[in-house]
Amino acid sequence: MSAFDAKSDMEKLSHINALPYKEQAIWFLNAFWSQGPKFGEDAAAREDVWTFHKTSVKLDKANGEAGNELNEFDAHRLIEKCDSALTVQKMREVLKEIDVDFNKMVSLSEFMIYKFGIDWTLLVNAPQGCDMGAINEAQAGLDNANKMMQVAIAAAEKAKDDHVASKLAEERSKEEEVNSAKAAEESKKMEIVLAEAKEQAEGALKELQEQEAAFKKKLDDLEATSTDDSLGIVKRNKAKAELAMAKAEDPMPLRMAKIHQEAAVRKVTKATVKAGAATAAAETAAKHAVEARINSEKAAVEASAAAKAAEAAIPDAEAILEEVKQKNSGSGEGNLWYIDRELEEAKRYLPKSKFAAAQAAAAAAKQQAASPMK
C-alpha cells in the first residue's frame, strides 16, 4: 500500500486540492474516463474541463498555472463565467456546498465535483495507474514543441516590431533629407545676402573712412586756427566754437554701418550652422534607416527559421504521443488527452499555412506510429 492509499479520504482530497490546476484536471479526467461523466465518450465534457482549468488560471492573478485554488471572490467569478444561469443567492449557496474541505478556498477539483455532480470519495479513490515513464516521454515532446512555439512567437513579434521600426526610420530619414535640403537652400540664400551686405558695408565703410579723414582734417584745421596767436581774437574764438561743435557731432552713421554688417554676418552664420545640423541629422537618420532595415531582414529570417522548427516539433511530439497511447490503452487517458489537447492549442499559434502543414505532418506521423500496432 502506498503512502497516498494509507491516507483518509479527506486527506486524499486535500492532497489533490494542493496540486496545480492542470494536474487536478488530469486527475479528474483519469478518475472519470469510463465512469461517472465518462469523459472518454464525451468530447464536449473534456473540453469543459480544459475551459475550467484555463479560466481558473486567468482568475488566479497571483499564481497562474502554479496555483491550485481560488478565493471566494474569484471562485464566485468562476461560477459566474461557467454557470451564468445561477442567481446571486444560489451562487452563495453553491460556494458553501463546493468548499468540501471547509478552508474557505475553492480548488479546481472542488468546483468540478460540484459542476459534474459526482461523489468526491470516488474521485480520491479512483485509480490513476499508467506508465509514467512513457507519459513523461510524451510530455517532454509536448514541452519541446511548446518551447519551440514560444521561440517562434517571440521571433515573429520581434520581426513585426523591427519591420515597424524600419518603416519609421525610413520615414524619418526622408523627413530629415527634406529638412537638410531646405536648410542648405536657406544657407545658400544667406550667403548671397551676406555677400551683398559685405559689399554694401565695404562701400559704406570706404565712404565713411573718407568722411572720417575729412572730419579729422577739419578738426585739425580748426584746432590750429584757434591756437594761432597771429590771428585776431574773433577769428580764433570762432574757430574754437566751430571746433567744439564739430567734436560734439554724433558719429552714428559709422556705428550703424558696422552694426548692420555684424548683424548680417550673424544671420548667415546661424543659417550655416542650421544647415550643417540638418545635414548631420539627415546622415544619422539615413544610417539608422539602413541599420533598422538590416535588423528587420535579420529578424524576418530568424522568425521563419523558428516557425519551421516549431512546425517540425509538433508532429514529432504527436508521433511520440500516439505511440504512448498504443502502449497505454485503457490507463492514464486523462494525461494523454491533455498532452494531445495542448499540442492542438500550440498549433493554433502557427500561421494558417503552417497550421495546415503541421496538421498534415502530425496526421502522417500518427499513422506511422500506429501502423506497427496493426
Kind of pairing between the strands at 69-70 and 106-107? antiparallel
Residues 307/148, Cβ–Cβ less than 8 Å: no
- The burial class, CB within 10 Å (0-12 / 13-18 / 19+), for 105 is middle
Hey, is 290 helix, strand or coil?
helix
Q: Which of 132, 25, 115, 128 is nearest to 79 (CA)?
A: 115
178, amino acid identity: V
Angle between helix axes 9-17 and 21-31 (nearest 10 degrees) is: 130
CA 128 vs CA 2, 139, 167, 219, 327: distances in Å: 13, 17, 56, 123, 16
148 vs 143: CA distance, rounded Å: 9
Closest by CA to 78, choosing from 47, 103, 55, 109, is 55
Per the document, the length of the chain is 374
CB atoms within 10 A of CB 113: 20
Nine-digit cell at 220?
585739425
Side chain identity at 364, as an amino acid letter? A
* 116 residue type, one letter: F
361: β partners: none
Handedness of CA 332, 335, 340, 341 (dihedral sign): positive
* Burial group, residue 149, by CB count within 10 angstroms (0-12, 13-18, 19+): buried
pLDDT of residue 37: 94
Q: Report helix, strand or coil for 153.
A: helix
Beta-bridge partners for 69: 107
The span from the CA of 128 to the CA of 23, in Å, is: 12
Going residue by residue through the chain, which has 374 residues, state the pLDDT in tens, using 9 for 90 and above: 567 778 899 999 999 999 999 999 999 999 999 899 999 999 999 999 999 999 999 999 999 999 999 998 898 899 888 876 566 567 667 767 777 777 888 899 999 998 998 899 999 988 775 555 655 666 676 677 667 667 766 766 777 777 777 777 778 777 777 776 776 676 677 667 666 766 765 666 677 677 778 888 888 888 888 888 888 888 888 878 887 887 776 555 656 655 665 665 566 567 667 766 767 776 777 777 778 778 777 766 776 676 666 666 666 666 665 665 555 555 578 888 988 888 788 777 666 555 555 555 555 554 554 444 33
What are the Cα distances from residue 19, in Å, to 68, 69, 224, 249, 359? 6, 9, 119, 104, 32
Say what the pLDDT of residue 328 is: 54
